[in-house]
Amino acid sequence: MGSTLLEATGLCKAFGPTQALAEVGLHLHAGEVVAVLGENGAGKSTLIKILSGVYIADAGAMRLLDEPYEPATPADAVQAGVAAVFQEPTFFPQLSVLENVFAGRQPRSRFGNVQWTAMLREGRELFTELGLSPALLDRRMEQLSLGHQQLVLIARALHLEARVLILDEPTSILTENDATKLFALVEQFTGGGGGVLYITHRFGELAQVADRIVVLKDGRKVGEGAASELSEQQVIHLMSGRHIEQAEAMAQGKRGAADAAPLLTVQGLTVEGAFSDVNLTVSRGEIVGLYGLIGAGRTEIALSLFGQLHPSAGTVTLDGRPYAPRSSRAAMAAGVAYVPEDRKTQGLYPLMDTGANLSTAVLDRVSQGGFVHRSKERTLVRRFVESLGIKTRDPGESILNLSGGSQQKVLLARWLATEPKLLILDEPTRGIDVGTKTEIHRLIFGLAEQGFGVLVISSELPELLVLSDHVHVVRDGRMVADFRRGDATSHAVLEATMGYTGADV
Amino acid sequence: MSSSTTTAGRDTAVGQRSGIAGRLQWRAMAIYVFVLGEMIVFSVLSANFLTAANLGNIALNAADLALIAAGMTLVIILGGIDVAVGSVLGLLALISGTATLAGVNPWLIVVLAVVLGTAIGALHGLIVTKGMVSPIIATIGLLAVWRAVHFSLWGGSDLFAPPISLLLVERFAGIPGVAFLVLVVYGGLAYVMRFRSFGRNVYAIGNDAEAARLAGIRVTRTTIGAFALLGGLVGVAALVFMSRTGVIQAYSGQGLELAVIAAVVVGGTSITGGRGAILGTLGGVVFVAVLQNGVVLLGVPPLWNGLLLGAFILLAVSIDAIVNRRAARRERAL
């Protein structure tokens, strides 16, 4: 093993009440590929964002090539020789691939002119060297597939003469062919003395790529070892095993799924390019969970049930009647409510008060002849503020003054007010502190108790396991496994999520 | 420009096709087809249109518009906009006119107008970047502010000032001198946008300011630079305006921003930034100037002038939006 390239000790980072990273240490040698594994929310992204200068750690120290390394901006990190390609890449869609590779550091003549011919020659050399088609250089970035965009960004990073390359789930959107190209790039890079930090969810490629594995859980490093020595079983064991005790107690009290006829039946549902052949049922009083990695197609399934994506195949029935909403209005009219995953951009009206945020979906029910009946609206708002325990002094208070948990409850109330039969909750507790999480869990149990059908999407496996009577696992747009309450252990679900087949490494 | 002289012809062809200037040329150049069509229509409808005198008039009358539109193209490609250019032009014309009447050396006035304009532009850029006010909001406010300053300096009666230089308004072989200045500015800026890293960075910022920051591009500095450049050109335009009209009124320059933005947008620059070309704007300026001139020649009431201009802005912006949405849909389908 070569000399130490990058060394981090005691890295900590908190976001509000959430400790995203606690006392994490890491080292990377020249010529080495270190894979970082962990569940969603284990702290992988936070770690690499600190290493690449996007976040600044609350505590801890980093050294690069035996020099102190304190990047304040991504540009600092790049300057020092640390390049990162993120899962949601940033690039210039309307510029050519060539310009994307060279943005910010085009070859220039003595007089400062951009030398297009030299740039093109360099770009060609780079692409040929990396086994990419030089013809790509000429195309606009937005015309490339996601996989090719990713490869271009890696090429850009390599051209920066980086010593450390950080790849955040690079293969999750790559085809097999592109992935092979990527592995070749990685090998070439480490062969030249570079080190790679590799975030992945795919066990299949660990043996192929990684020299060493680091496992994170709840922001802490829980295991580390040579890739050849750690079995998949051991890694999964290290990743899993979190508990949410209070909610578990609540789940004990919950009756089994109602035996009534299914409320929602989905058969063979397919949306081109997002997911295919999805089957699931939700009964009244049942909580059904959808688990999968971000980008696996969970949210798209929800959006298609809410009329936002139009399926190309499959049938859906709601309450025994065919259900094929063409718009969110149609979905609402049929009795489906969707609480979106991103509160800030898809839910809240930041400039309006709490009451207005709550009543927006049912204004016509509290209006007469086009005029909002203020007292009726107030009654409605008050009812939900009380029943959901929304902490606000007064419905006239700005929604931004409320805590994340109360904001989430307001959004929940907004949709409950439409008197739906089926509630779809996408990441209902994201960014909410632990105490309020429990309250939201209690609310969800209560709703099921009242006879709502509930479909929950969550990246937090422990939460989903506790809430759901039935968990479906989505991987690459397909339903790959389902578990009844009791059979669903985090171990089993994670195995299904990552495509573990039972064969040892 | 390139130090490489060994490049094969094929390479040069690809080199020119790659990158904005090559690839998007057709989009920017489409405007010239419209210009041609427009000129044919007006030639048929009016015998006075296609005469050397009239074409010279168009060139002279459109010169200040052309200068400002060149700078505005940069600002819009960068993802910004400056709607205060009309007010600033009025103010700078007033100051320059007053100085001319006071007998100040014309060279000094030129320097004064350009420096003042650049400073005002830089201030706009500073407010947009450091003050983090959205460009449209900030410059709507500044539009009112500069007009108010103009009023307070304006003596209560129209100011009649002689041209700063006769070279600007005199015609050489029927072409007004200022047209040469305009062509030099457009040639220079087209060069900057393609061959200077400043120009490439302007495109990058308009595509995605965050990605540009991550790529180590100095976003604040480039943005202020683009606004300052626009301001400097407004200064030059003010001198041209003063020289060709000879009079500065309380409302000089009012509404100019509309024609400028129209010229930029019909010239193929995306109003949301990231894409566009200087030479497309030149076509857009000619289109707007010919439209304004032709409408007058046909004796259409001036009211219709605004209607036509507005309609063409709407058309250009809608086409832009539709093209972008198509592209986005295609991307999503991948």
Of A75, A99, A146, the CB nearest to B334: A146
**Percentage of chain B with pLDDT > 70?**
88
Could you tell me which residues come within 8 angstroms of residue B89 by beta carbon, excluding any fewer than 6 positions away? B64, B68, B234, B237, B238, B241, B252, B253, B256
Candidates A86, A88, A90, partner chain B, best to mutate (most B CBs within 10 A): A90
Backbone angles phi, psi at B287, to 5 degrees: -60, -50
Yes or no, beta carbons of B18 and A91 under 8 Å apart: no
Give CA A140 to chain center in angstroms. Answer: 27
> In whole angstroms, what is the distance from residue A7 CA to residue A12 CA?
14
Give CA A234 to chain center in angstroms. Answer: 24
Q: Tell me the pLDDT tens digit for each residue of A164-221.
A: 999 887 766 666 777 788 888 888 888 888 899 988 777 777 777 889 999 888 888 8
Q: What's the pLDDT score for residue B202?
A: 94
Candidates A52, A86, A94, partner chain B, best to mutate (most B CBs within 10 A): A94
Give A115→chain B minimum CA distance, Å.
5
> In whole angstroms, what is the distance from residue B211 CA to residue B205 CA?
8
Give CA A24 to chain center in angstroms. Answer: 22
Yes or no, beta carbons of B204 and A74 under 8 Å apart: no
Candidates B5, B195, B272, partner chain A, best to mutate (most A CBs within 10 A): B195
Residues of B in contact with A105 (CB under 8 A): 216
Whether residue A351 is predicted with pLDDT greater than 80 in this model: the reply is no
Query: CB contact, 8 Å: A108 with chain B?
Result: yes
Candidates A106, A116, A149, partner chain B, best to mutate (most B CBs within 10 A): A116
Yes or no, beta carbons of A105 and B216 under 8 Å apart: yes
**Percentage of chain B with pLDDT > 90?**
56
Q: How many pairs of residues across A and B have Cβ atoms under 8 Å apart?
A: 122
Q: Is the ipTM of this complex over 0.85?
A: no
Q: Which of A52-66, A118-132, A259-273, B280-294 has the lowest mean pLDDT?
A: A259-273
C-alpha closest to that of A165 among A179, A154, A149: A154
> In whole angstroms, what is the distance from residue B22 CA to residue B28 CA?
10
Q: Tell me the pLDDT tens digit for each residue of B79-118.
A: 999 999 999 999 999 999 999 999 999 999 999 999 999 9
Residues of A in contact with B1 (CB under 8 A): 109, 113, 115
> In whole angstroms, what is the distance from residue A52 CA to residue A71 CA?
7
Yes or no, beta carbons of A272 and B327 under 8 Å apart: no
Q: What average pLDDT does chain A have?
A: 83
Whether residue B17 is predicted with pLDDT greater than 70 in this model: the reply is no
CA nearest A96 in B: which residue? B19
Q: What's the pLDDT score for residue A88?
A: 66
Whether residue B290 is predicted with pLDDT greater than 80 in this model: the reply is yes
Of B19, B204, B214, the CB nearest to A74: B214
> In whole angstroms, what is the distance from residue A280 CA to residue A264 CA?
8
**Could you give the 3-state DSSP secondary structure of residue B9?**
helix
DSSP letter string, A310-339: --SEEEEEETTEE---SSHHHHHHHTEEEE
Of A78, A92, A106, the CB nearest to B207: A92
> In whole angstroms, what is the distance from residue A310 CA to residue A270 CA?
9
Give B214→chain A minimum CA distance, Å.
6
Q: What's the pLDDT score for residue B190?
A: 93
Yes or no, beta carbons of A99 and B19 under 8 Å apart: yes
Backbone angles phi, psi at A480, to 5 degrees: -105, -15
CA nearest B12 in A: which residue? A117
Yes or no, beta carbons of A115 and B2 under 8 Å apart: yes
Confidence of residue A254 (pLDDT cuts 50, 70, 90): low
Confidence of residue A364 (pLDDT cuts 50, 70, 90): confident
Yes or no, beta carbons of B23 and A137 under 8 Å apart: no
- CB distance B228 to B37 below 8 Å: no
Confidence of residue A504 (pLDDT cuts 50, 70, 90): very low
- Cite the DSSP H helix spans in A160-266: 176-191, 206-209, 232-239, 245-253
Q: Tell me the pLDDT tens digit for each residue of A446-503.
A: 888 888 899 999 888 888 888 898 999 988 888 888 888 878 787 888 888 877 654 4
Give B196→chain A minimum CA distance, Å.
5
| Kind of pairing between the strands at A367-368 and A82-85 | unpaired
Whether residue A123 is predicted with pLDDT greater than 80 in this model: the reply is yes
Yes or no, beta carbons of B197 and A106 under 8 Å apart: yes
DSSP assignment letter at A254: P
Q: What's the pLDDT score for residue A252?
A: 61
CA nearest B324 in A: which residue? A94
Specify burial of residue B264 (Cβ count, 10 A radius: 0-12, 13-18, 19+). buried
Confidence of residue B210 (pLDDT cuts 50, 70, 90): confident
Give A456→chain B minimum CA distance, Å.
25
b/e burial code for range B26-39 (CB count within 10 A of at least 16 → b)? ebbebbbebbeebb
